[in-house]
C-alpha cells in the first residue's frame, strides 16, 4: 500500500466517526439540557426553608452556616449535590452564544489555514500537510526552523570555497530543500557538472529558474490582520466583562490557536520553494544544458542516460521516506537529514576542486596551469579532462555515491541543528497551550477540569506526533543508508528489516494521531462554545479536586474574580510574548539566509 493510499485511508476512516460524534451531540443537547442557574436557585431556596445547608458552598468551597441569610449568600454546591439536584446533563446551549463565540474565536484561525504553503502534486498531500500543521504545531515549527538552520549551515560551509558557480550551488541547494534531492556521480555526472566549463551556464540558469518568492500578498496580509484584530478585540471584550459567559468564553480557544499566526508569518518570510510543477519545470529546462566528460570527449548528459547529477526524480531511486516526495514544507522533517547529507556531498566536491585550483593544479594530468594576463580567474582550459581526471579533481568515486559504507550517513552537525530546531517550536506550542489552560484552570471553580484537560491533551498529542515523525525520519534514513550493502550478516539484516517496520509504524501512527488531534482541537473548542462542558462534572473540577472535595460555582455576579482576571491577563501575556518572540527570531534567522 502506497503512502498516498494510507493517508487517504486514514482520512476516510476518521470522517465517519466525526459524523457519528456530531449526531450524538445533537441528540444529547435536546435530551439532557439543564439550566443550572434555576436548578441551584431552587435548591438554595429549599435549603433556606429547611435550614439544611448540606451541599451548599461559598466562593472558596467552604460550608455555609445554618441561617437563612447565610444560605441565601451561597454561590455554589458540591458535586454530589449538583448531581442529585440537577442530574448529569449539560447546560442548555443557545445558538446565539455558540455562533458568536465560534465566529469570534475560531473561524478566523480556520480561514488562516489557507495561507499555509502547499504546492504538492496531489491534493491529499496538501490536505494532509494542513492536518499535520494543525495536529502538531511543534512539527510545523520544527520543519520551519530546521529549514532555516540547514540553509545557514550550507551557506557558511561554502564561504571559503573559491571555484566557479559555488555561489549558484548554494542558492540551488537551499531552494531544493522541499524536494527529494538526490546526488550521484554515476558516469562522472557530479564531477563533470562542477568542473567542466561547458556547465557554466547550467548553474546560473537553474538558480534563476528557482529564484522566485511567494511572500506577502493582499490576501495573506488581510487574513493575518483579520485574525490579529479579531483576537485583540475579543480578548479586550472578554477581559472587560469577565462575568459574561464565563464557562463558554472563548479566550482559551483563542489562545490555543495563537501559534498559527507566527507559523504562517514565518513561512511567508521564508518563502519556501514548494511548487512541485514549477520546480520540476526548472529542473527539466536546465537538464538539457548539462554536459558530462567521457573518454570520447564532452557530451550532453541527456545523450548518455536519464540520470542527472542533481535530481529530484524519485522514479529512478526511491527516497528513504515516502514523505520526502511531498513538497509542502511541513514535510521537511523527513527531508532534512537526507538533504543535509546530499548538500554536504556537493560541498565536499566543490571544496576539493577549490583546493586544487588554489594550488594551480589543472584537471588534466601533465598539463601546466594557464593564467592568461595574470588574472585571478580560472581559465577554461584548466578545467577540462577525462572522467577519471574530473573525478580525481573533486575526489569523487567513479560510480554513484556509496550508501555510507565509508563515510557517515549523517551530515556534520545535523543532530545539533535538529535539537536547536526543536526548542522554539516546543516553547511556542506549550506557551499557547499553557495560556489556554491558565484561562480555564483559574475560572471558578479553580482546578483541573474538562476544559483544561482538553487543552493539555492537545498539547501532549501535538508533541507526541512530532516525536514520532522525527524518530521515524531518523530510523528510515539510517536503514536506507545501509540498504546498498551486499555483505549483511543475518542479525544485521533482521535488525534493518525490523527498523524499517518500526519507522513505518511510527510514521503511520504519527499521522493518525495528527488527524485525531486536529479534529480534537476543533471539537474541544466547539464543546466549550456549545456548553457541552457546562455540566456538574466539568464545572466542579472533579479531575483536579476529586469527587469528595469537588464543587461548582453557579452565581458569579457578586464574586471577587480578581484572581481569574489576573490569570487571564497572564495567559494573554504568555501567549502573545512567545508568539512575538517566535516571529522576531524568525526574522533574524531568515535575514541570515542567502537569496
pLDDT digits (tens, 9 = 90+) for 93-117: 777 777 777 877 788 888 889 888 8
More confident residue, 575 or 20: 575
Average pLDDT, the chain: 84
More confident residue, 594 or 539: 539
Residue 51, H or E segment: none
Q: What are phi and psi of 372, to 5 degrees?
A: -65, 125
More confident residue, 177 or 527: 177
Cell (9 digits) for 450: 474538562
pLDDT score recorded for residue 191: 92
User: Quick count: other Cβ atoms within 10 Å of Cβ 136?
Assistant: 32
pLDDT score recorded for residue 556: 80
pLDDT score recorded for residue 430: 96
Residue 457 in this model has a pLDDT that exceeds 50? yes
Widest distance between CA atoms in the chain: 113
User: Quick count: other Cβ atoms within 10 Å of Cβ 125?
Assistant: 21
Task: Give residue limits of the domains in the chain.
Answer: 39-88, 95-138+215-270+412-591, 158-214+273-394
More confident residue, 165 or 395: 165
What single string gives the DSSP state of each residue in 392-415? HHHT--SSSPPSSSSS-SS-TTHH
Q: How many angstroms separate the CA atoms of 40 and 21, rounded?
A: 30
The pLDDT tens digits for 413-422 are: 999 999 999 9
pLDDT score recorded for residue 403: 42
The pLDDT tens digits for 314-368 are: 666 677 788 888 889 999 999 999 999 999 999 999 999 999 999 989 999 888 8
pLDDT score recorded for residue 398: 52
Residue 38 in this model has a pLDDT that exceeds 80? yes
Q: Quick check: helix, strand or coil at residue 269?
A: helix
**What number is the average pLDDT over the span 61-76?**
84
C-alpha Rg value of the chain to the nearest Å: 31
Q: How many angstroms separate the CA atoms of 422 and 426, rounded?
A: 6
pLDDT score recorded for residue 138: 97
- Among residues of the chain, what percentage have pLDDT more than 70? 87
pLDDT score recorded for residue 505: 95
In this structure, of 19-23, 113-117, 250-254, 313-317, the range with the lowest mean pLDDT score is 19-23
Helix segments in 32-105, DSSP class H: 36-50, 68-72, 79-86, 95-101
**What number is the average pLDDT over the span 228-235?**
82
pLDDT score recorded for residue 375: 65
Q: What are phi and psi of 106, to 5 degrees?
A: -110, -40
Find, among 362, 335, 369, 363, the residue nearest to 177 by Cα.
Answer: 335
Q: What are phi and psi of 75, to 5 degrees?
A: -120, -5
pLDDT score recorded for residue 87: 85
Residue 55 in this model has a pLDDT that exceeds 90? no
Give just the sign of the alpha carbon dihedral 494, 500, 502, 505. negative
Tell me the residue length of the chain.
595
The pLDDT tens digits for 505-516 are: 999 999 999 999
Q: CB under 8 Å to 519, separation ≥6 — which residues?
A: 14, 18
The pLDDT tens digits for 558-572 are: 777 778 888 888 998
Angstrom distances, CA of residue 264 to CA of 55, 111, 197, 256, 333 = 50, 12, 42, 15, 17
In this structure, of 150-154, 216-220, 426-430, the range with the lowest mean pLDDT score is 216-220
Find, among 440, 457, 505, the residue nearest to 252 by Cα.
Answer: 440
**What number is the average pLDDT over the span 527-538?**
84
Give just the sign of the alpha carbon dihedral 539, 542, 547, 551. negative
| Residue corresponding to grid cell 502547499 | 118
Q: How many angstroms separate the CA atoms of 480 and 33, rounded?
A: 57
pLDDT score recorded for residue 401: 47
Residue 514, H or E segment: helix 490-529
Give just the sign of the alpha carbon dihedral 404, 407, 411, 413. positive
Cell (9 digits) for 170: 548554494
Residue 434 in this model has a pLDDT that exceeds 60? yes
pLDDT score recorded for residue 402: 43
Residue 41 in this model has a pLDDT that exceeds 80? yes
- Among residues of the chain, what percentage have pLDDT more than 90? 34
Q: What are phi and psi of 61, to 5 degrees?
A: 85, 10
Residue 268 in this model has a pLDDT that exceeds 50? yes
In this structure, are residues 574 and 434 in contact, taking their beta carbons and an 8 Å threshold?
yes
**What number is the average pLDDT over the span 486-499?**
76
pLDDT score recorded for residue 525: 85
Q: How many angstroms separate the CA atoms of 308 and 233, rounded?
A: 55
The pLDDT tens digits for 441-450 are: 888 888 888 8
For 77-96, give one letter per residue: b (16+ CB within 10 A) or e: bbbbbbbebbeebbbebeee
Q: CB under 8 Å to 580, separation ≥6 — which residues?
A: 262
What single string gives the DSSP state of each residue in 357-372? HHTT--SSTT-----G
In this structure, are residues 316 and 472 in contact, taking their beta carbons and an 8 Å threshold?
no
Residue 119 in this model has a pLDDT that exceeds 90? no
User: Quick count: other Cβ atoms within 10 Å of Cβ 316?
Assistant: 12
Amino acid at each position: 500500500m502506497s503512502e498516498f493510499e494510507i493517508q487517504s485511508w486514514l482520512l476516510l476512516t476518521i470522517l465517519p466517526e466525526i459524523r457519528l460524534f456530531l449526531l450524538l451531540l445533537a441528540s444529547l443537547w435536546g435530551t439532557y439540557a439543564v439550566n443550572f442557574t434555576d436548578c441551584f436557585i431552587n435548591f438554595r431556596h429549599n435549603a433556606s426553608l429547611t435550614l439544611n445547608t448540606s451541599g451548599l458552598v461559598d466562593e472558596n468551597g467552604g460550608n455555609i452556616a445554618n441561617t437563612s441569610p447565610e444560605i441565601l449568600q451561597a454561590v455554589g454546591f458540591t458535586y454530589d449535590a449538583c448531581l442529585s439536584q440537577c442530574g448529569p446533563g449539560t447546560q442548555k446551549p443557545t445558538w446565539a452564544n455558540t455562533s458568536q463565540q465560534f465566529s469570534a474565536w475560531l473561524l478566523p484561525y480556520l480561514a488562516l489555514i489557507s495561507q499555509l504553503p502547499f504546492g504538492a502534486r496531489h491534493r491529499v498531500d496538501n490536505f494532509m500537510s494542513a492536518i499535520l500543521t494543525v495536529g502538531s504545531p511543534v512539527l510545523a515549527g520544527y520543519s520551519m526552523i530546521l529549514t532555516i538552520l540547514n540553509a545557514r549551515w550550507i551557506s557558511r560551509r561554502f564561504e571559503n570555497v573559491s571555484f566557479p558557480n559555488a555561489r549558484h550551488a548554494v542558492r540551488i541547494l537551499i531552494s531544493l530543500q522541499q524536494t527529494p534531492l538526490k546526488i550521484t556521480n554515476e558516469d562522472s555526472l557530479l564531477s563533470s557538472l562542477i568542473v567542466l566549463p561547458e556547465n557554466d551556464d547550467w548553474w546560473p540558469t537553474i538558480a534563476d529558474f528557482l529564484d522566485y518568492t511567494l511572500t506577502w500578498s493582499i490576501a495573506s496580509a488581510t487574513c493575518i490582520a483579520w485574525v490579529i484584530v479579531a483576537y485583540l478585540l475579543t480578548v479586550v471584550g472578554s477581559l472587560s466583562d469577565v462575568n459574561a459567559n464565563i464557562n463558554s468564553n472563548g479566550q482559551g480557544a483563542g489562545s490555543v490557536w495563537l501559534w498559527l499566526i507566527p507559523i504562517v508569518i514565518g513561512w511567508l518570510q521564508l518563502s519556501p520553494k514548494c511548487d512541485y510543477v514549477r520546480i520540476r519545470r526548472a529542473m527539466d529546462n536546465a537538464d538539457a544544458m548539462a554536459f558530462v566528460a567521457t573518454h570520447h570527449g564532452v557530451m550532453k548528459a541527456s545523450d548518455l542516460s536519464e540520470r542527472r547529477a542533481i535530481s529530484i526524480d524519485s522514479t529512478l531511486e526511491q527516497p528513504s521516506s515516502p514523505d520526502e516526495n511531498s513538497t509542502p514544507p511541513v514535510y521537511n522533517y523527513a527531508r532534512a537529514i537526507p538533504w543535509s547529507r546530499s548538500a554536504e556531498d556537493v560541498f565536499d566536491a566543490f571544496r576539493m576542486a577549490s583546493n586544487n585550483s588554489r594550488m594551480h593544479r589543472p584537471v588534466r594530468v601533465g598539463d601546466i596551469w594557464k593564467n592568461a594576463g595574470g588574472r585571478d580567474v580560472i581559465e577554461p582550459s584548466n578545467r577540462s579532462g577525462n572522467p577519471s581526471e574530473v573525478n580525481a579533481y573533486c575526489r569523487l568515486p567513479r560510480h554513484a555515491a556509496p550508501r555510507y559504507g565509508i563515510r557517515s550517513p549523517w551530515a556534520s552537525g545535523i543532530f545539533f541543528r535538529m535539537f536547536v530546531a526543536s526548542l522554539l517550536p516546543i516553547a511556542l506550542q506549550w506557551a499557547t497551550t499553557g495560556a489556554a489552560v491558565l484561562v480555564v484552570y483559574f475560572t471558578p471553580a479553580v482546578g483541573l477540569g474538562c476544559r483544561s484537560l482538553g487543552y493539555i491533551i492537545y498539547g501532549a498529542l501535538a508533541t507526541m506526533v512530532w516525536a514520532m515523525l522525527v524518530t521515524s525520519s531518523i530510523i528510515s534514513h539510517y536503514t536506507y543508508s545501509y540498504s546498498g550493502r551486499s555483505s549483511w550478516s543475518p542479525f544485521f539484516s533482521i535488525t534493518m528489516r525490523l527498523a524499517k517496520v518500526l519507522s513505518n509504524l511510527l510514521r503511520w501512527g504519527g499521522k493518525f494521531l495528527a488527524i485525531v488531534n486536529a479534529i480534537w482541537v476543533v471539537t474541544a473548542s466547539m464543546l466549550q462554545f456549545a456548553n457541552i462542558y457546562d455540566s456538574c462534572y466539568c464545572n466542579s473540577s472533579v479531575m483536579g479536586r476529586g469527587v469528595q472535595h469537588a464543587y461548582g460555582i453557579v452565581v458569579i455576579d457578586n464574586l471577587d474574580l480578581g484572581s481569574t482576571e489576573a490569570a487571564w491577563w497572564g495567559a494573554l501575556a504568555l501567549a502573545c510574548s512567545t508568539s512575538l518572540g517566535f516571529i522576531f527570531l524568525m526574522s533574524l534567522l531568515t535575514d541570515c539566509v542567502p537569496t
